[in-house]
């Protein structure tokens, strides 16, 4: 017949599921259908084993002792930093700052980078689809330093108008802070283009990559983004750890956020001098075991063809999106082209929490509420939505369960 087309190794979610023990444990006697990955992903045994192995073999505090285990632990911690560096495509390992999560990463930029640069009336440009973690730190600067928040709307389909964003950047703009992927809409923002346009006006860009790093293959060098914040637990890794990527030159200019051990060069009774980044921003004992877990999670993701995972997630989204068309009482919020595998919707006459309670009893875990994105809820005229967010281990069969459960909810509540 014809020549063979190039083979892309299809991703096998069923094989991957075997790595996630929790997915095999029923809830209410029914198979768990875990679709709350946008809030937090489950952890494969590779991550749990790595943490356990490290803690039971090589654990001690880092950067302190001269003893054997301290050296081993420091090596593991710094190796984790290099794993993150590679995962994000950062040029230098000192551009990777470990934080306790994505929220702290953004707060570090607000406090360490932007606060000293804000004069009353200076502007911060952000979009209406930001998570509260990429809103509230900027509100702090509004309250405390007189910064002005300039909001960029999204289109009705949830996509971002780059022209509108560019137009919002003015001579007083000190930072553009926007998400890479909306945690509610699934919209993937054209980050590279936005960064280019912001830079043309001399404005740096912080991207909230808490969803972006999960669903897209990120290369901060290619994006040329100035700051990129991620969190471990959405990346199949542990809670309690996140990362701020920052360009070396910017991190060097930043003042520390927390003061304490590890972040100093010298402390006397009269003066203190600070360590270079990233240590400057890692006061106190860092999340050591978690760093090992995060590295294991990134290795786990990279053990697959990431493009194939992405294709699988897109397939799930398309299948679910098509599936909910049968429900004329359901309105999907966010249909931007190329969006990531996050499906938010509103149901006629059914509150998201009622819907989620009924789905829960069918074993289907979804998120219901405002998703820490109240300005976006307001933009779409809703109080809350129900959100199904898909991960690499989800399957079409699970989408079918979701659809059946939705139909059942309608029967009960409708």
Q: Which residues are catalytic?
A: 372
358 lies in the site for other proteins, by CB under 8 A: yes
Cis peptide before 278 (omega within 30 of 0): yes
Written in H, E and C, the secondary structure of 18-36 is CCCHHHHCCECCECCEECE
Alpha carbon distance 205, 213 (integer Å)? 16
Nearer Cβ to other proteins (207/358): 358
Choices 65-73, 149-157, 315-323, 406-414; region in contact with other proteins by CB under 8 A: 406-414
Alpha carbon distance 184, 345 (integer Å)? 9
Helix (H) or strand (E) holding 386: strand 385-389
Q: Which two tokens stand for residue 207?
A: 């991207």
The residues with which 207 forms a beta bridge, in sequence order, are 178, 228
408 lies in the site for other proteins, by CB under 8 A: yes
Choices 241-249, 309-317, 343-351, 393-401; region in contact with other proteins by CB under 8 A: 343-351
Nearer Cβ to other proteins (70/357): 357
Nearer Cβ to other proteins (120/381): 381
- Pick from 374, 375, 395, 400: which binds other proteins (CB under 8 A)? 374
383 lies in the site for other proteins, by CB under 8 A: yes
289 lies in the site for other proteins, by CB under 8 A: no
Q: Which of residues 27-46 bind other proteins (CB under 8 A)?
A: 28
Alpha carbon distance 387, 50 (integer Å)? 31
413 lies in the site for other proteins, by CB under 8 A: yes
DSSP state, residue 350? B
Choices 17-25, 76-84, 332-340, 354-362; region in contact with other proteins by CB under 8 A: 354-362
Q: Which two tokens stand for residue 108?
A: 């570090």
Nearer Cβ to other proteins (296/355): 355
Q: At what angle do helices 306-323 and 288-302 cross, to 10 degrees?
A: 80
Nearer Cβ to other proteins (190/369): 369
The residues with which 33 forms a beta bridge, in sequence order, are 364
Alpha carbon distance 401, 393 (integer Å)? 15
State the minimum distance, in angstroms, from the CB of residue 27 to other proteins: 12
369 lies in the site for other proteins, by CB under 8 A: yes
354 lies in the site for other proteins, by CB under 8 A: yes
Tell me how many residues contact other proteins (CB under 8 A). 20
State the minimum distance, in angstroms, from the CB of residue 119 to other proteins: 33
The residues with which 245 forms a beta bridge, in sequence order, are 96, 228
Alpha carbon distance 168, 125 (integer Å)? 7
Give me the residues that bind other proteins (CB under 8 A), please.
28, 349-354, 357-358, 361, 368-370, 374, 377, 383-384, 408, 412-413
């Amino acid at each position: 017949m014809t020549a063979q087309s190039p083979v892309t190794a299809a991703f096998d979610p069923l094989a991957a599921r075997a790595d996630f023990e929790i997915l095999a444990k029923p809830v209410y006697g029914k198979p768990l259908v875990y679709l709350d990955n946008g809030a937090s992903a489950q952890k494969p045994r590779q991550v749990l084993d790595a943490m356990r192995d490290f803690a039971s073999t090589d654990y001690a505090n880092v950067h302190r002792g001269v003893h054997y285990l301290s050296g081993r632990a420091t090596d593991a911690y710094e190796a984790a930093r290099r794993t993150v560096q590679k995962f994000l495509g950062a040029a230098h390992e000192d551009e990777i700052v470990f934080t306790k999560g994505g929220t702290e990463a953004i707060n570090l930029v607000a406090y360490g980078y932007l606060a000293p640069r804000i004069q009353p009336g200076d502007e911060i440009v952000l979009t209406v689809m930001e998570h509260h973690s990429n809103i509230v730190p900027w509100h702090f600067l509004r309250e405390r330093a007189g910064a002005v928040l300039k909001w960029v709307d999204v289109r009705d389909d949830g996509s971002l108008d780059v022209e509108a964003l560019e137009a919002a950047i003015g001579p007083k703009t000190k930072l553009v802070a926007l998400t890479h992927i909306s945690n509610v809409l699934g919209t993937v923002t054209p980050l590279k283009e936005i960064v280019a346009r912001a830079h043309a006006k001399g404005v740096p860009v912080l991207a909230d990559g808490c969803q972006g790093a999960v669903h897209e293959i990120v290369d901060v060098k290619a994006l040329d983004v100035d700051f990129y914040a991620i969190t471990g637990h959405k990346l199949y890794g542990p809670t309690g750890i996140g990362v701020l990527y920052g360009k070396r030159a910017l991190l060097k200019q930043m003042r520390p956020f927390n003061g304490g051990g590890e972040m100093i060069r010298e402390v006397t009774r009269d003066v203190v001098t600070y360590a270079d980044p990233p240590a400057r921003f890692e006061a106190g004992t860092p999340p050591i075991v978690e760093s090992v877990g995060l590295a294991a999670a990134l290795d786990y993701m990279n053990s697959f063809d990431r493009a194939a995972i992405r294709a699988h997630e897109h397939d799930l989204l398309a299948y679910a999106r098509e599936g909910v068309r049968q429900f004329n009482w359901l309105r999907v919020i966010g249909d931007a082209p190329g969006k990531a595998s996050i499906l938010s919707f509103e149901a006629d006459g059914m509150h998201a929490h009622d819907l989620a309670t009924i789905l829960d009893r069918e074993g289907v875990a979804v998120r219901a509420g405002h998703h820490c994105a109240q300005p976006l809820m307001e933009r779409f005229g809703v109080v809350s939505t129900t959100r199904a967010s898909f991960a690499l281990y989800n399957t079409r069969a699970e989408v079918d369960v979701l659809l059946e459960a939705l139909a059942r909810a309608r029967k009960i509540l409708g």
